[in-house]
A and B are shown apart, each in its own frame.
Chain A
Amino acid sequence: MAGKTLYDKLWEAHVVRDNGDGTALLYIDRQLVHEVTSPQAFAGLRLANRPVWRVAANLAVVDHNVPTTDRDKGIADPVSAIQIDTLDQNCRDYGIVQFGLHDRRQGIVHVIGPEQGATQPGMTVVCGDSHTSTHGAFGALAFGIGTSEVEHALATQTVVQARSKRMLIRVDGQVGPGVTAKDIMLAIIGHIGTAGGTGYAIEYGGEAIRALSMAGRMTICNMSIEAGARCGMVAVDDTTIEYFRDRPFSPKGELWDQAVGYWRTLVSDDDAVFDRVVTLNAADIKPQVSWGTSPEMVLPVDASVPNPKDEADETRRAGMERALEYMGLTPGTPIRDIKLDKIFIGSCTNSRIEDLRAAAAVVRGKRVAENIQEAMVVPGSGLVKWQAEQEGLDEVFKAAGFEWRDAGCSMCLGMNPDKLSPGERCASTSNRNFEGRQGQGGRTHLVSPEMAAAAAVAGHFVDIRELEQ
C-alpha cells in the first residue's frame, strides 16, 4: 500500500464520522473568529437557542474593520463600530477569549494565531476568512469557511467536508538574492493559474521551501487560495518546532515533549502518492510584479506589460484587455517604468517582523520618492509593532517618509479608512489585485516587501537584485 501524504494524515486524524456520501464530519481543533464573518453566525446560534460546543477552542480578534491610527479616539465609522461592538458582545455572552482593539496582542487573525501558539502543527484550523490557509505552514489542516460553516463549527466543533485531491508543489534548488517567499508564490500562481489548485489540498516541498523561515512559509501557504486551493501546507521540521517553543498557548512541560513526538510524524511518507505534482526550479524565479486584476496576471520585474493580441484564447484575451484598461497600462511598457502613487506594506501575507526588517533594510537612510503620495507600514499585530520599535525599524520607516500604523488588515481590503482613490496605483505586499479590492477604481500591483520598499524610494518598480549588487 502506498504511503500517506501529510494531508491524508491530518484528514484521517480528524474524521468523526464518514457520512457515506462523499463527505465526512471533520473535527475542528481551533476556530479563529473575527468581526466581519461572525455576527450572523452568533445570531443563528441565538435564534436556534444553541450553545457553543467547546468555548475554549475559539479565539477571537478584531482586524478587518479597525482603524490603524488614533485608536484612542474611537471608531469614526458608525457601521464599523457596530460590527466591532457586536463581536465584543458575542465574546462576552459566550465566554470566548478575544483580543480587543486596545489589547497589545490584537492584530490580523492569521498573524496572531501562530504568534500566540494558538494554532499548532497537527491541528484543524478554520476561520471565516479565505487566508486561513496561512496556518498550514505549520503542518496543520487550515482552511477558510463561510459564515454558515462558522456557525456550524461553533455549534458542533465540526464541519462537513469532502476530501480534497492532493497536489505537491515542489520548488527545487535555491532562490537567487532578492527573491523571497512572495516571489516564489506569485511565480507558482502565475504557473498553475488562479484556479489551478481548485479541488486540491496543496503541499509545498522542495529545497527552496525547506530553506524558508516560518514567516516565509506562512506567506506561501497564505496565498494558496489565490492559486484556487482552500488549504496549503508544509511538512513539520525543526524550523516548525523551534517556532513554537515558549509561545503563550504552546504545550508546556510533558505535553510539549508529547506534542513534539507527534508533530515529527506530520510529513508525507516517502512513497506517498499525489494526484498532481508540479515542480519549479527556484533558480529560475525572479522578483515578481502583478500587472493585472487577477493574481495569475503576474510577471518577472524585468518583463514588459503583455499584449492581449498574443493570447490565442478568446475569453482570456478579453480578460487581459479588460484588466489592462482597468489598470491603465499599455502593452509593451516595461514593468520597471510603471510609476506609483501609494505603497502598502502589510496584510496577512507580509506583515510579520521578518517582512518589516526586510523592507526597512531597503529604505534605511533613503527617502520616499516625490511622486509617492502615501507610503504606509501596517504591522501584522501589536506585538510585531512592539518588536519592530524595539529594533528601531519604526524610526527607519518614519525617517524615510513612511507612515507607521497600528495593526490590522488595513488597505489589503480597505474596509477601514485606509484605501485607494479611483485611478491610484499602489505597490502592495497584500494578496489580491482584484478590481476595487483596495478601494473603488484603485490599481494594485502585488509584490514582496523588499520590492514595495524599493518602489517607494524610486517612485516606480525597480529590480531589487540590482540594488543588492
Chain B
Amino acid sequence: MEPLTQVTGLVAPLDRSNVDTDAIIPKQFLKSIERTGFGPNLFDEWRYLDAGEPGQDCTNRPLNPDFVLNQPRYQGARILLARENFGCGSSREHAPWALAGYGFRVLIAPSFADIFYNNCSKNGLLPVVLPADVVQQLFEATWENEGYSLTVDLPAQQVITPDGEQYAFEIDPHRKHMLVEGLDEIGLTLEHADEIKAYEARQRQRTPWLFTDLEPS
C-alpha cells in the first residue's frame, strides 16, 4: 500500500447525506474478481446518463452534466467533501477501490459508516471526520472559489485551508500508523502468530466445541 502522509489537492463537493456504497459503486461492477479498474464506474448511476455494464469502455458514455464530478472545475480532484454517514450500507470494499481508482486520496465528512471507514484506511484512502459546521464552511469555500484546494497533513492530523486556517482531526493511532507507513496489516499480525496459537490452545480447553472442524458431509 502506498504511504499517505501529506496530500494537497483540489476539493470536489458532494452535497448529499447518507451516500451509500450502492451509489458509490453499483452492484453489477461487483462481479469483477480484481481489485482494480473500478474508477471509471465510481458513482456510475449519477455520473452517466446511460446504464453501465461491467467491462464496458466508459470513455464515450454520455455524462450527466448535473453531477458534480463531471463539472470541468472539479476535474483532477483528490479530496472529496461529503455529508453525514458517507459510505453507509453494503460492506463492499469495491467502494473505496472505486474512490481510490478515480484518484481520491482523502475524504472529508462529518461522519462515516463504520465498515466503510475501516475499508478506506486499508486502501490508502484517508477518511477525515470534521465537525458539521466546519464541513459546511468547507463546502461554501469550495463552491465560492474555483480551484479551491486543501492540504491534509496526516502525521500532524490537520486539515489546512489556503488561508492557513487549521482544523485538527482525530484518528486512532493504529490506523494512522498503517496509513503513514503504507503497511501490510496481515504481515504485522503474523508477527504475533505465537499469541494467536496460545489463545487457540487456551480456548480449546475452555470451549472445545468451537474447535470442531467443519467437514463436508
Contacts and interface: CB of A to CB of B under 8 A. Distances in A.
Interface of A: 16-17, 19, 21-23, 25, 27, 29, 36-37, 39-40, 43, 48, 50, 53-54, 56-59, 64-65, 77, 79-80, 82-83, 86, 97, 118, 120, 122-123, 128-130, 132, 143-149, 151-152, 155-158, 160, 162, 194-195, 198-199, 225, 228-230, 248-249, 251, 255-256, 258-259, 262, 294, 315-316, 318-319, 322, 413-415, 432, 434-437, 440
Contacts of B90: 129-130, 413, 432
A97 B214 contact: yes
Contacts of A118: 214
Contacts of B27: 413-415, 437
B140 interface: no
Contacts of A435: 22-23, 45
A262 B34 contact: no
Contacts of A128: 91, 93
B88 A23 contact: no
B26 interface: yes
Interface string B11-41: 0000111101011001110111111000000
A130 B196 CA distance: 26
Given A128-B91, A146-B118, A157-B200, 7 more contacts: A27-B200, A36-B31, A43-B35, A152-B185, A158-B196, A315-B84, A434-B22
A160 B22 contact: no
B185 A160 contact: yes
A195 B111 CA distance: 9
B33 A147 contact: no
Residue in A22, A194, A251 with the greatest tally of chain B CB atoms within 10 Å: A194
A129 B91 contact: yes
B115 A144 contact: yes
Contact of B51 (A249, A256, A432, A440): A440
Given A79-B31, A198-B114, A251 B16 contact: no
B207 A122 contact: yes
B149 interface: no
B18 A194 contact: yes
Contacts of A229: 114
B22 A437 contact: yes
A86 B33 contact: yes
B23 A162 contact: no
A440 B45 CA distance: 7
Given A40-B35, A195-B84, A259-B209, A156 B113 contact: no
Given A130-B89, A230-B114, A415 B208 contact: no
B82 to A, nearest CB: 12
A49 to B, nearest CB: 12
Contacts of A16: 192, 195-196, 199
B217 to A, nearest CB: 7
Contacts of B215: 56, 97
A123 B210 contact: yes
Interface of B: 15-18, 20, 22-23, 26-28, 30-35, 45, 51, 54-55, 83-85, 88-93, 96, 111, 113-115, 118-119, 122-123, 172-174, 177, 184-187, 189-190, 192-193, 195-196, 199-200, 203, 207-210, 212-217
Contacts of A27: 196, 199-200, 203
B11 to A, nearest CB: 18
Q: Which of A64, A156, A414 has the most CB of B within 10 A?
A: A156
A195 B195 contact: no
B213 A56 contact: yes
Nearest to B119: A146
Contact of B17 (A148, A151, A319, A434): A319
A37 B199 contact: no
Contacts of A248: 217
B94 to A, nearest CB: 8
A130 B91 contact: yes
Contacts of A152: 185-186, 189
27 contacts: A21-B174, A23-B172, A25-B189, A25-B195, A40-B33, A56-B215, A97-B216, A120-B209, A128-B91, A130-B90, A146-B91, A147-B119, A152-B186, A160-B185, A194-B85, A195-B18, A198-B114, A225-B115, A249-B212, A251-B209, A255-B208, A258-B208, A315-B84, A319-B16, A434-B20, A436-B22, A436-B45
A36 B96 CA distance: 15
B83 A198 contact: no
Contacts of A77: 31
A129 B30 CA distance: 12
Contacts of B114: 198-199, 228-230
Nearest to A164: B114
Contact of B172 (A53, A123, A162, A262): A162
B84 A415 contact: no
10 tightest CB-CB pairs across the interface, nearest first? A56-B213, A146-B119, A146-B93, A39-B33, A251-B209, A148-B122, A195-B85, A144-B91, A21-B173, A130-B91
Contacts of A129: 90-91
A36 B90 CA distance: 12
Contacts of B111: 195, 198
A43 B32 CA distance: 12
Given A147-B93, A155-B186, A17 B195 contact: yes
Contacts of B15: 318
Nearest to B190: A156
B96 to A, nearest CB: 8
Contacts of B177: 21
Given A27-B196, A129-B91, A146-B119, A22 B33 contact: no
Contacts of B85: 194-195, 198, 228
Contacts of B92: 36-37, 146
Given A50-B186, A149-B122, A434-B22, A228 B84 contact: no
A294 B119 CA distance: 22
Contacts of B196: 16, 25, 27, 53, 156-158
Contact of B31 (A83, A120, A249): A83
A294 B209 contact: no
A415 B22 contact: no
Contact of A230 (B32, B35, B115): B115
A202 to B, nearest CB: 12
